[in-house]
Amino acid sequence: LIFFHLTFKDYILGTFSKSFGASGGFIAASKAAVDELRQQSSPYMFSASLPPAVVATVRHILGVLRKDDCRVKQLWENIDYFRSCASDLGLPVMASDSAIFPVRVSRDEKALDCARRLVAEKGIFVLPVIYPVVPQNKARMRVSINAGHSREDISRLAESLAEILALGRG
């Protein structure tokens, strides 16, 4: 976008992988902006259309959400609850406006060990994010909250993270 001297206000970008459990994404903009992207964007030129099954999945999910937004409301309640638990426990959670929370860990080895221990000892799956995805010594755990989590699930997650991270200090 910088190449075209455009700002992010000119486009709305979205992903289907995190919000819909599918693949791909979208860009919404004026017809002129979309036409320019189509002509000038090499990633677009070498990409393919979304598979029909992905489009059908996303359309179905949008229809479900339009009829009943209780899942969306529950998700935001769960996000707020995790933020509160993390704050109360002093977890090093980075700012996030979504259901995905990066938790600072620092060393790659520590992130890998924390992820392994969370699964083995607590039955909790959290993805480690390590170099080269993030700079060296900036590793983190990628916590994903969803509408299906109970308050007990979220409390146990936060407490387990605090315990495992505390054990890994030093």
Return the CATH architecture of domain 70-167. Alpha-Beta Complex (3.90)
Asked if 157 and 111 count as a contact pair (C-beta separation under 8 A), the reply is no
What mean pLDDT comes out for the span 144-161?
96
What mean pLDDT comes out for the span 60-88?
91
The SS3 call for residue 49 is: coil
Q: Within 13 Å, how many C-alpha atoms sit on residue 106's CB side?
A: 5
**Per the structure block, which two tokens stand in for 90?**
């002093």
pLDDT of 6 reads 52
Asked if 103 and 143 count as a contact pair (C-beta separation under 8 A), the reply is yes
Question: Could you give the CA distance from residue 86 to residue 96 in angstroms, rounded to a whole number?
Answer: 12
> Percent of the chain having pLDDT more than 70?
91
DSSP letter, residue 93? B
- Where do the structural domains in the chain lie, given as residue ranges? 8-67, 70-167
Q: What is the pLDDT of residues 132-151, one digit of tens each?
A: 999 999 999 999 999 999 99
